[in-house]
């Protein structure tokens, strides 16, 4: 990210990346109408802090007005281990729902 502060080319690449991410999120918001979209994992955390406002603007420009108004785009609060924590909840949820039966 520091390269974007020193290089106009790197800054353009990041802006273009934010536009593509925003377009993809707009499509997901239009299709699924979620309340929240959470960007996580190492890439989301590395890019999100700097690009989140641009990603939100791009998504707002390309999403349908009503679904976008009902959704929020946020950064994950679980840190870089979000994927691992999420994966660990699956067997735990099954264990709890079945009472430990196989």
Residue 73's pLDDT is 97
Q: What is the number of structural domains in the chain?
A: 1
67 with 29: CB under 8 angstroms?
yes
The parent domain of residue 56 ranges over 2-98
In whole angstroms, give the CA distance from residue 73 to residue 89: 23
Residue 9, domain CATH: 3.30.420.40
Q: Note the pTM of the prediction, 2 decimals.
A: 0.78
Residue 15: pLDDT over 80: yes
Contact 52, 6 (CB under 8 A): no
**97, pLDDT greater than 70:** yes
Tokens representing 86 are 């999420």
pLDDT tens digits for range 32-46: 999 999 998 888 888
């Amino acid at each position: 990210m520091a390269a974007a502060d020193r290089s106009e080319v790197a800054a353009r690449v990041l802006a273009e990346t934010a536009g593509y991410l925003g377009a993809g999120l707009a499509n997901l918001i239009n299709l699924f109408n979620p309340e929240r979209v959470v960007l996580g994992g190492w890439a989301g955390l590395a890019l999100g802090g700097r690009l989140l406002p641009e990603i939100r603007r791009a998504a707002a420009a390309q999403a349908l007005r009503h679904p976008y108004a009902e959704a929020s785009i946020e950064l994950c609060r679980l840190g870089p281990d979000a994927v691992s924590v999420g994966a660990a909840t699956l067997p735990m949820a099954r264990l709890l729902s079945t009472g430990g039966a196989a």
